[in-house]
Amino acid sequence: MSDHEPHLTLLESEFERVLDNYAHEASGGQNSTSENRSHTEELLRERARDRRFRQLLDALPAAVYTTDAAGRITFYNEAAVELWGCRPELGKSEWCGSWKLFWPDGTPLPHKNCPMAVALKEDRAVRGAEAIAERPDGTRVPFIPYPTPLHDGSGKLVGAVNMLVDITDRKRAEDQQALLVRELHHRVKNMLATVQAVMGSTARASTTMEEFQQAFTGRIMALARTHSSLAEDQWQAISTRNLLCNELDPYDDGSGRVQLNGPAVDVPATVAVPLSMAVHELTTNAAKYGALSVLGGSISVSWTLAGEADRRELAITWIERDGPAIEPPTRHGFGSQLLERVLKNQIGARVTILYKSEGLRARIVVPLPSERSPPTPLDSMGAA
């Protein structure tokens, strides 16, 4: 039993307490035996005992039912009706009131072979089993049964009681955990591929070991910052402003050197990672050769969101001013490849770069997934 389900332990304890009380009363209690009573007194005592027993069972916050020794259902509470989705006929329905039964792997489970049937046929309590009940409307409920034989004062088998504990929440949590493990494996594998690709591209574009180390470290840190921001939102999205601030905040001295302007737009993880790498390359280029490399230089970044809910585009405009005169690069390094090819291939972005004398200008138009699209396992860390 998992640690996150203490209520199952409490249910089991309460169920066993009720059974112990039944067994104690069936034996006649202390210092008395059934031989000391008349037949009528014994019958009245058994009826009172059964009434108290059913009252206790009905008070349990779980599905409970009883059968006679032949397996015919003699009692069930409202919780059992809710779990089964039907009301089986007392005295006729056998073994279990479920419309249909299945094993945990989905294979059919005949009622005559269900845990309650085993408990009665073999006269033993069954523990540790799981099954699935299908209601008449087709919905299914996984549950843990606790079938336990009942005996009279002489030890004769007179029936059985079963408690069915709905474990839907536990199964849902287990499925979610399995999904997270698969996604984690997926992300780690793709992250390693991304790092390998970044390392190779950086090495090819670097002329010295120092240049390689500085560029490679900066790009890995850019990935780490984006991943940290995504993790805070359970790997769903990051705001456009936060994505830009992750890179530009170190250069914002409060004098208006860095200006950001745009509406609140969340960027999904599938887009955020490659887009953040592009922003990192633009920032690094500006710090080395552009507006951020000199006093008085400034950067203005604005963004807009256009289109309908099922066809949206995020347009980011990057403008540098008052920096040194620039010219188009003579060779294409990692940054140029990322902006010109990777963004297009990975997320379908359209990129325009203008090398003006007053400063670099860039425009990145990124298609965004439909607002109605449900979250999907991330595939955002594919190799650049």
Q: Residue 134 is inside which H or E element, if any?
A: strand 131-134
List every span in the chain annotated with CATH 3.30.450.20. 6-167
Neighbours of 4 (CB within 10 A): 10
Give the whole-number percent of the chain exceeding pLDDT 70.
69
pLDDT (0 to 100) of residue 382: 38
Predicted confidence band at 258 (pLDDT cuts at 50, 70, 90)?
very high
> What is 171-383's CATH number?
3.30.565.10
Predicted confidence band at 374 (pLDDT cuts at 50, 70, 90)?
very low
User: DSSP 3-state assignment of 118?
Assistant: helix
The contacts found for 347-354 with CB under 8 angstroms, 24 or more apart, are 347/270, 347/271, 347/274, 347/275, 349/275, 351/278
| Nearest alpha-carbon partner for 366 in 284, 229, 268, 224 | 268
pLDDT (0 to 100) of residue 9: 60
Q: Residue 151 is inside which H or E element, if any?
A: strand 148-151
User: Structure pTM?
Assistant: 0.49
CB 382 within 8 A of CB 191: no
User: DSSP 3-state assignment of 81?
Assistant: helix
Q: Average pLDDT of 62-75? A: 92
pLDDT (0 to 100) of residue 204: 67
Q: What is the CA radius of gyration of the chain?
A: 35
- For 325, 329, 383, the CA distances from 332, given in Å and listed in that order, are 19, 7, 18
> What is 6-167's CATH number?
3.30.450.20
For 143, list phi and psi in degrees, rounded to 5: -150, 160
- For 200, 277, 332, the CA distances from 186, given in Å and listed in that order, are 21, 20, 31
Q: Per residue in 1-16, pLDDT tens?
A: 444 454 556 556 666 6
Q: Per residue in 326-370, pLDDT tens?
A: 888 776 655 566 677 778 888 888 999 888 888 999 999 999 987
* Mean pLDDT score of the chain: 79
Q: Which DSSP category does 130 fall into?
A: -
Beta strands 148-151 and 258-261: pairing type?
unpaired
pLDDT (0 to 100) of residue 334: 53
List every span in the chain annotated with CATH 3.30.565.10. 171-383
Predicted confidence band at 190 (pLDDT cuts at 50, 70, 90)?
low
Q: Per residue in 298-320, pLDDT tens?
A: 999 999 998 876 789 999 999 99
